[in-house]
Amino acid sequence: MTYTLLIADKSYSSWSLRGWLAFRAFDIPVTVRTTRMYRDQFLLDVQAFSPPSRTVPILRTPTGGMLTDSLAIAWHLASTYPDKGILPADPKARADAMSLVAEMHSGFAALRGACPMNLRTGWADFVPSDAVKADLARLELLWGRAFEAHGGPWLCGAYSLADVFFAPVATRILTYDLPVSGPALAYAEAHVAHPAFRRWRAMGLVEGPEQPTYDMDLPRRPFPAPVPLAAKAVVQGPSANTACPYSGEPVTHFLEIDGRLFGFCNAFCRDKTVADPEAWPEFMAIYGG
């Protein structure tokens, strides 16, 4: 048996991102199921997975236990996989990481409420309230102290649960062009360049149409992330490869990049690669081969 994780829209569900990163950033195997918010099916999917839950993420453990909050998932994985670096080994760094996780879990309500996570677009001309500015000041204080204490490049040295929990807030700084100092901006930019995050965002871009709930009455601008290699879906091959780089199955769907054709076993495998080819080591292995 393996872990099974139920999440929602990758472009918008910040708590789903935390649950997913807690696995993928540390190479822990998990089977992922996805539902979409603001649809009648959402609650049905959630309650079928774990009655009487109402939110995501939800984790079903190999022994049949249910963890119904991202913080519970985080502590479970840290205790189950002590050698994965989920929490720092150094006692002081470990304590700091746990405190950072706890404050992020319960705090920053003004920032989270005014600036919902949206990984599909950037917004221009957002004007932060005093409460949002206070949350930003608190972020800068916490992050600055962590960098000073542990030397970076992440909050407690190496990437840890502290960074997993702050990832969605870091993306908000970029999405809404929030006023922060250079070190805080660099930290946010490091998140959107993180390999696991790039894969998450690429999948979210091809999950389905945008959620109108997350639209803002603001001018749009491109989401500020690393510019992907230019790729496009095409109708037919032949492709340079005969087996899908992800599943090993025969290819049926194709993309073009730099005048070369590559094949995949289904539309999702192709489309997530079109969204960000460099996010996928399996594809880059055949692209560069």
200/69 Cα distance (integer angstroms):
19
Amino acid 70 reads S
186-211 pLDDT tens trace: 999 999 999 999 999 999 999 999 99
| 105-124: average pLDDT | 98
Return the DSSP state at 266. S
Is the pLDDT at 118 greater than 70? The verdict is: yes
- Residues 6 or more apart in contact with residue 141 via CB below 8 angstroms: none
| 124-129: average pLDDT | 98
Residue 128 near residue 114, CB atoms below 8 Å: yes
250-285 pLDDT tens trace: 999 999 999 999 999 999 999 999 999 999 999 999
**Angle, helices 130-150/91-106, rounded to nearest 10 degrees:** 170
Report pLDDT for 28. Answer: 97
DSSP string, the chain: ---EEEE--TTT-HHHHHHHHHHHTTT---EEEE--SSSHHHHHHHHHHSTT--SS-EEE-TTS-EE-SHHHHHHHHHHH-TTTTSS-SSHHHHHHHHHHHHHHHH--HHHHHHS---SS-EESS----HHHHHHHHHHHHHHHHHHHHH--SBTTBS--HHHHHHHHHHHHHHHTT----HHHHHHHHHHHHSHHHHHHHHHHHTSSS--GGG--SS-EE---SPPPPPEEEES----S-SB-TTT-PBP-EEEEETTEEEEESSHHHHHHHHH-GGG-HHHHHHH--
Is the pLDDT at 289 greater than 90? The verdict is: no
| 243-256: average pLDDT | 98
Q: Which domains does the chain have, with CATH numbers?
A: 4-80 (3.40.30.10), 91-199 (1.20.1050.10), 231-287 (no CATH)
Pairing type for strands 31-34 and 4-7 reads parallel
> How high does pLDDT run on average in the chain?
97
| 108-131: average pLDDT | 98
Cα 50 to Cα 64, 253, 275: the distances in Å are 11, 35, 32
Residue 240 near residue 260, CB atoms below 8 Å: yes
